[in-house]
Structure 1
Amino acid sequence: MRKCIALLGGSFDPVHLGHLALADTFVQLLQADELRVIPARPWQKSTLQASDAQRIDMLQLAFAASRVPVVIDTQELERDGPTYTVDTLRALRAELGDDVSLVFLIGADQLQRLDTWRDWHALFELANLGVAARPGFSLADAALPPAVVQELALRRASPEQLRATPCGLVSVAPSLAVDVSATEIRSALCQEDKTNALLPSVVLDYIQQHHLYKN
């Protein structure tokens, strides 16, 4: 059977329950063999409040109980200069070969601006896309750029089809509707809101122990 790897990228500053819900939903839908989590470094590095090492620590804690093996892939942190998803997918293809099914996970908010990504058409030559609903961001054609709508019309497929295909397909999970903002979480933590229910408890403990997001 073809190996299937779900890919989850993000700043993870901090990792929260929305990230875990997105990953777990598609791990189940795809019956994925592995989850690869890829922390990013935004071009404006000063926007990050936790260090690379701290973000990796939090990811390891958050995904320790995952139902499949998890790899924290740090290639974007090690790359010099701006890094783009298409570069990461090319590197993964070179590492993993052409036969494995790669499924890059994004939210509806990212789908609405997919046509602004670097070499976005090339993404479909390298991976499948798993798209999750998000409150306030419509997945209807009218809410998406026409070029993205055109691509989706050619590529929509079931999770089972994504699992059996290396790249080029898109599957939408409309039932996932977790509305979590890392910005709001940081604000709550700055105000010392100890009841924050949007973080895994092990991550909240780590944040408090290391006095993160205090300003």
Structure 2
Amino acid sequence: MTRCVLLLGGSFDPIHNGHVALGATFVRLLGAAELRVIPTVPWQKSTLVATPQQRADMATLAFADEPCRVVIDRQEIDRGRPTYTVETLRALRGELGPETALCFLMGADQLQRLHTWHAWRDLFALAHLCVAARPGFRLDGPDIPVEVAAEFGARLVPAQRLCSRPAGNTCIAPDLAVDISSTQIREALAAGNFQHDSGSPIPARVLDYIEQHNLYKK
């Protein structure tokens, strides 16, 4: 079987349980050898609160218990400028070689905006695209642009087939019912409305880090 590496990018400002669930879902489905967590400097967002190092630190803490090897990939934050996803995938393909199966993970909300990403059709030549969605999600639903649904749907395969080739396919895990907003988390933290309990949308280690570094306070 081809070596399979999962790629999970995000601004992680802060990282939350939705990100962790997305990674864990595909680690379980694909039995991947490695999860690369990529703190991004996204061109579509203008302001980030935490520093690049703090976002990398929080990602390290959030994924500390994953059963596979976890690598915090610093390439985007080390570039120090906004970066297109296609740039990062090209760099990873160059680093990891042409035979490694790269699986880029995203939520359904990102799929809705995929047509706005720079050179989005080129992504399919570089990696598999894996979407985790709520139960009942439909690729032909009104929230998915027609051109995205057509490109994604033409490449759709069962998850267990992804690691047999390096790139070019898509899959959907239709059972991730997590709806968490980093913006709402920052607002709640600023208002002092977070407590250490099982209902927190942030991993306990990450919340400890946020408090220790006095992040997201007004």
Band of TM-score, shorter chain: over 0.9
Q: 1:175, 1:46 → 2: CA distance?
A: 32
Alpha-carbon displacement from aligned partner over 1:144-177 (angstroms, at most 9, x marks no partner): 1111121123100111111212101110011111
**Change over 3 Å in CA distance of 1:89–1:44 after alignment to 2:** closer
| 1:139-158 matched pairs, under 5 angstroms | 139-143=138-142, 144-158=144-158
Give yes or no for contact 1:105–1:131 (8 Å, CA) kept in 2.
yes
- 1:26 corresponds to which letter in structure 2? F
Unaligned runs of 5+ in 2: none
| 1:19-168 matched pairs, under 5 angstroms | 19-43=19-43, 47-134=47-134, 138-143=137-142, 144-168=144-168
Give yes or no for contact 2:41–2:81 (8 Å, CA) kept in 1.
no
Question: Which one of the candidate residues 207, 211, 218 is aligned to 1:208?
Answer: 211
> Cα RMSD between the aligned structures?
1.7
**1:15 corresponds to:** 15
Unaligned runs of 5+ in 1: none
**Change over 3 Å in CA distance of 1:130–1:211 after alignment to 2:** same
**Change over 3 Å in CA distance of 1:80–1:190 after alignment to 2:** closer
CA shift at 1:3, angstroms?
Answer: 0.6
**Change over 3 Å in CA distance of 1:172–1:200 after alignment to 2:** same
| Percent identity (aligned) | 56
**Change over 3 Å in CA distance of 1:130–1:49 after alignment to 2:** same
CA shift at 1:195, angstroms?
Answer: 1.9
Instruction: Pick which of 86-95 and 45-54 moved more.
Output: 45-54
**Change over 3 Å in CA distance of 1:125–1:140 after alignment to 2:** closer
Runs of 4+ residues deviating >6 angstroms: none
Question: Aligned with 2:102: secondary structure?
Answer: strand
Q: 1:82, 1:182 → 2: CA distance?
A: 19
- 1:13 corresponds to which letter in structure 2? D
Alpha-carbon displacement from aligned partner over 1:123-149 (angstroms, at most 9, x marks no partner): 0000001101158x9543132111112
CA shift at 1:4, angstroms?
Answer: 0.3
CA shift at 1:193, angstroms?
Answer: 1.6
CA shift at 1:44, angstroms?
Answer: 7.4
- 2:16 corresponds to which letter in structure 1? H
Instruction: Pick which of 73-82 and 18-27 moved more.
Output: 73-82
Q: TM-score, normalised by structure 2?
A: 0.93
Q: 2:140, 2:183 → 1: CA distance?
A: 28
**Change over 3 Å in CA distance of 1:159–1:11 after alignment to 2:** same
**Change over 3 Å in CA distance of 1:132–1:45 after alignment to 2:** closer
**Change over 3 Å in CA distance of 1:26–1:100 after alignment to 2:** same
Q: 2:151, 2:44 → 1: CA distance?
A: 30
Give yes or no for contact 2:4–2:100 (8 Å, CA) kept in 1.
yes
Question: Aligned with 1:142: secondary structure?
Answer: coil
Q: 1:6, 1:134 → 2: CA distance?
A: 20
Corresponding pairs, count: 214
Q: 1:81, 1:131 → 2: CA distance?
A: 26
Q: TM-score, normalised by structure 1?
A: 0.94
